Each structure stands twice: as C-alpha cells, then as structure tokens.
Amino acid sequence: MTVESCKRMVGKVVVLTGGGGGIARGVARAFASEGAKMVLTDIFQGGMDVTKAELEEEFGTEVLTLIVDGAEEEQVEKALAKTVEHFGQIDVLINSAQTSASGLTLIQHSKEDFDKAIYSGLYATFFFMKHAFPYLRETEGSVINFASGAGLSGNPGQSSYGAAKEAIRGLSRVAANEWGVYNINVNVVAPLVMTDKLAAWGEENPEMFEKNIKSIPLGRYGDAQQDIGRVCVFLGSDDARYLTGDTIMIQGGLGMRP
C-alpha cells in the first residue's frame, strides 16, 4: 500500500548521511515526496548521483550532494557550513551512514575492524550532531539516528556493528536530555529493511529466507521508502514535536519488547 504525501516538509532542509545507499535512498525519497530540500553526504559520488537524479526527476526537489568522510570532523563541519550557505538552514539531520566488518566473531575482530564501525558510525554521528547543533537550535529542528536490532539483540557476528549502534543510542539519549531546552528532538530508529543484498541472499537460501519471514509478525521485510522513510518523515515533522529520546522499532513486530 502506498501512502499519499501530505507535503509536511515543504520549506524544510534535510541532511542525510550515507545518501548514496539503498536504505538512505528510500528515506530520501520519502522526504522529497513531502517537499523537503535534500542534502546528501557520502564517501562515494556515484550512489548520490543516482539518488539526486531520482529525487529531482520524480519530485522536483532541489538536491545538494557533498563528498564527506564522517569520521573526519573538519569535513563534517565544512559540509554543514556549505549546506547553510546554499540553503540557509538545517531542519532535520539523519545519521544513517555506517560500515562494519560484519560476519566476524568477537574474537576474530582486530582493532582496525572495530575502528571501522566506531569511526564510520559513532564518530560520524557525533561529529554531525555536534556541528549541526547551532543550525538546529535556530530552526528548533530534529535529529534521527539509525540503530539496529543487531545491537539490541546481540546478533552473532556483529560485535563491532552492534557496539557502534548501541553507542549511538546512548549518545542520542544524552542529546535528547541536553537539547530539549532548545526544542530540538532527538530520536532513534531501528529498521528491518529489504535490500538488494538481502533479496540476493534470499534467492540463494530460500528455506532460511522463508523461515526468517515467518518470524516477523507482519510477515515481510520493510520497504525503505514506504515503511522506514515515512516513519522518519513523521519524526522530522511537527507531528512528533513531543517525542524525544526514544528508539522506534520499525521491524514489523520482530523487535517488540515489554
């Protein structure tokens, strides 16, 4: 089912890290369909170019792309300054960028493997939040950070990834407490999303894929735009102004907890 746009983000500027990736592309499409102007950051230009072309052609939105290594604080600070120079403001910051050495057990991890997850995820989120704060204070904006069921459930083979994602949740709760006085809300989403890699794995492992599907109460993986993106739109809109410091499990019921 496709949800109709309400144009809740007209006049808003959204910064999305990891903007060349498949999940981020779906989130970007959700915001663009609501009228937002988009700033995409990534370490590779190619994926951002694909996203930019889609958003401009299908939604007529203005898109700025910036090559940024989120682990480098100076690059982050300059990118946010360029954003404000170009668009005049920042209303929503979405930290979705993350790489990791998934598939390695805890004892197989090297320090370099661990650093990969911590720098691309935790440090990048910290730097973007830190340097976006002055602009978000002006707009009474929103921050949406990405966590994962891998950290919440302790998935085997994802120790560095899970550690980075849980650290991001802790950082988000502190910011929610510190920034509430400025009417900046900070929330976290933990999505379960159908991706190209997951689909390919499902074709190679149909029995395991079907077993995984059956474990999800709603019986399917989430769609990056319609399921994950639209929840992010809600969190970045005025409809969620009284919601902060929370983790929203967008997992079709799989992540339900007391």
Please give the model's pTM, rounded to 2 decimal places.
0.94
Q: Is the dihedral of CA 83, 132, 129, 26 positive or negative?
A: negative
Query: Which residues pair with residue 95 across a beta bridge?
Result: 145
- Return the pLDDT at 2: 55
- Residue 48's nearest CA partner among 84, 79, 89, 17 is 17
161 is catalytic: yes
- Return the pLDDT at 160: 94
Residue entry with tokens 């949740």: 169
- Residue 233's nearest CA partner among 58, 19, 42, 7 is 7
Which run of H or of E encompasses 140?
A: none
Mean pLDDT of the 106-124 span: 95
- Return the pLDDT at 64: 98
Average pLDDT along the chain? 94
The answer to whether 117 and 160 are in contact (CB under 8 A) is yes
Please report, rounded to a whole number, the percentage of residues in the chain having pLDDT higher than 70.
98
Between CA 127 and CA 69 the distance in angstroms is 11
Q: How far is CA 108 from CA 101, 102, 115, 136, in A?
A: 10, 11, 14, 40
Mean pLDDT of the 24-52 span: 97
Among candidate residues 123, 135, 161, 221, the one labeled active-site is: 161
Q: Is the dihedral of CA 165, 222, 3, 22 positive or negative?
A: positive
- Return the pLDDT at 139: 98
Query: Which residues pair with residue 222 across a beta bridge?
Result: 193
DSSP 193: B
Q: What is the pLDDT of residues 53-96, one digit of tens each?
A: 999 999 999 999 999 999 999 999 999 999 999 999 999 999 99
- Return the pLDDT at 5: 67
Asked whether the predicted pLDDT for residue 3 surpasses 60, the reply is: no
Q: If pLDDT is split at 50, 70 and 90, which confidence band does 224 have?
A: very high
Between CA 123 and CA 146 the distance in angstroms is 13
Which run of H or of E encompasses 146?
A: strand 142-146
Which run of H or of E encompasses 65?
A: strand 63-67
Kindly state the tokens that stand for 241.
């102004």
Asked whether the predicted pLDDT for residue 166 surpasses 70, the reply is: yes
Which of 128-132, 139-143, 148-152 has the weakest average pLDDT? 148-152
